[in-house]
Amino acid sequence: MTNALEISQLKKTYSHGVDALKGIDLTVEEGDFFALLGPNGAGKSTTIGIITSLVNKSGGTVRVFGADLDQQPMAAKRAIGLVPQEFNFNMFEPVEEVCINQAGYYGVTPPVARQRAERYLRQLGLWEKRRTIARALSGGMKRRLMIARALVHEPCLLILDEPTAGVDIELRRSMWQFLREVNSRGTTIILTTHYLEEAESLCRNIAIIDQGRIVEHSSMKELLAKLHRETLVLDLQSALTTPPTLTGYPCRLVDPHTLEVEVERQQGINALFSSLSQLGIEVTSLRNKSNRLEELFLSMVKEVQE
C-alpha cells in the first residue's frame, strides 16, 4: 500500500533562530485517520505548513502519495486539501465563489466546480448561505466553509489543523460524523486538535510531537494500552469529612460529596466498590477525571520536558 505521507528528517529553523522542527520522521498510510498532537508551539502547524508549501523547510524530505515536494511539487500539491487553523478566505466573496475559485485553482472546470461546491455546501449545511459574503457567516459556518473549500478539488489527503476550535459541542459532533464519512470514502485524513477526545474518537493512528520532535508514533490502540493508571471521580450520596481508607486505592476528597480515586490498570474496580460498600459509602455516579488519551498525552509531554 502507498503511504499517503512520508516525512523524513524534516527540519525547520526560523529566521529568528527558533528550531521549530529538529528532524522529524513521520509516516501516514493511505486511508488512515491520523492524529498529530502536541502542546502549543510543539511544531504541529510548522509541519503542516511545510507539507502544504506555506512554510519553507530547512532540511529533510516530504513525499505525498510518493510525489516528492521538491521534485514533483504540482503532483504533491494536487493531492492535498487543507483546512487551516485560522480563517484564510476572502471575507468579501460570496460563500459559493470561495469554493468555486478554489476548485479553479486546482484545474477543475467551472461546471464541475459548481456541482461540487453545491454538493459540499449542502452536506455542510451552507447551501442556503451560498450568496452570503463570507464575512457575514458565524464562526462555526466559517469553519464549515473551510472544510467545503478544502474538499472541492477532491483531495486524496485532507489535513485539518484544529478544525473544531471554538465550535459548539453539537456542531463538533456533526463535523466528526462528516469527517468519518469522508474518511470512509477513502480520503486519508490528518488531524491536529486540542480536543483529545476528538482524536481518540476519530483517529486510528497517532503521533505526538513536542519541542520539535516526535515523542510517540503508534496506533491509538497501542498507545492507550500504555495507560497504567486512571483517576475516577465518584459522586457521593452522603457528605464525608475525611477521605476513607481504601486499601490499594489512593484517594482524596475534592469536596464533601466528591472523591477522586486512582486505579491501576490491572486492579479493576470491583474491589474498590466492595471496600466502599463495607464502609457504607454510597456512590451516585462515576466518571473518568480526564479523557484517557489526555492523561497519556500529559504524562508523555511531561516526561519530555523533564
Partner 1 sequence: MGGQWIAFQTIVIKEIRRFMRIWVQTVVPPMVVTTLYFIIFGNLIGSQIAPVEGHSYMDYIAPGIILMSIINNAYANVVSSFYGAKFQRYVEELLIAPISDWLILTGIVVGGVARGLVVGAAVTVVAMCFTDLQLHSPLVVIAVVLLTAILFSLGGFINAIYAKSFDDISIIPTFILTPLTYLGGIFYSIEMLPPFWQQVSLFNPILYMINAFRYGLLGVSDVSLAGAFAIISATIALLFGISVWLLHRGVGVRS
The binding site for partner 1 (CB under 8 A) comprises 14, 49, 52-56, 73-75, 77-78, 80, 82, 84, 86-92, 101-102, 104-110, 149
Checking DSSP bridges between strand 33-37 and strand 205-210, what pairing results, if any?
Answer: parallel
CA distance 181 to 185: 6
Segments of the chain assigned E as strands: 3-13, 19-29, 33-37, 59-64, 67-68, 80-83, 157-161, 188-192, 205-210, 213-219, 229-236, 251-255, 258-264, 283-288
CB of 105 to partner 1, least distance (A): 4
CB of 220 to partner 1, least distance (A): 28
CA distance 295 to 289: 9
CA distance 120 to 182: 11
- Taking the least distance from each CB to partner 1, the nearer of 113 and 300 is 113
- Taking the least distance from each CB to partner 1, the nearer of 112 and 269 is 112
- Taking the least distance from each CB to partner 1, the nearer of 98 and 179 is 98
CB of 250 to partner 1, least distance (A): 47
- Taking the least distance from each CB to partner 1, the nearer of 66 and 110 is 110
CB of 49 to partner 1, least distance (A): 7
Residue 146's alpha-carbon distances to 14, 89, 139, in angstroms, are 27, 8, 11
Burial of 204 (0-12, 13-18, 19+ CB in 10 A): middle
CA distance 103 to 117: 8
Q: How is residue 128 annotated by DSSP? A: G
Backbone angles phi, psi at 31, to 5 degrees: 85, -5
- Taking the least distance from each CB to partner 1, the nearer of 108 and 246 is 108
- Taking the least distance from each CB to partner 1, the nearer of 84 and 212 is 84
Amino acid identity, position 178: F
- Taking the least distance from each CB to partner 1, the nearer of 134 and 199 is 134
Name, in order, each residue with C-beta under 8 angstroms of 9's C-beta and a sequence gap of 6 or more: 23, 24, 25, 59, 60, 61
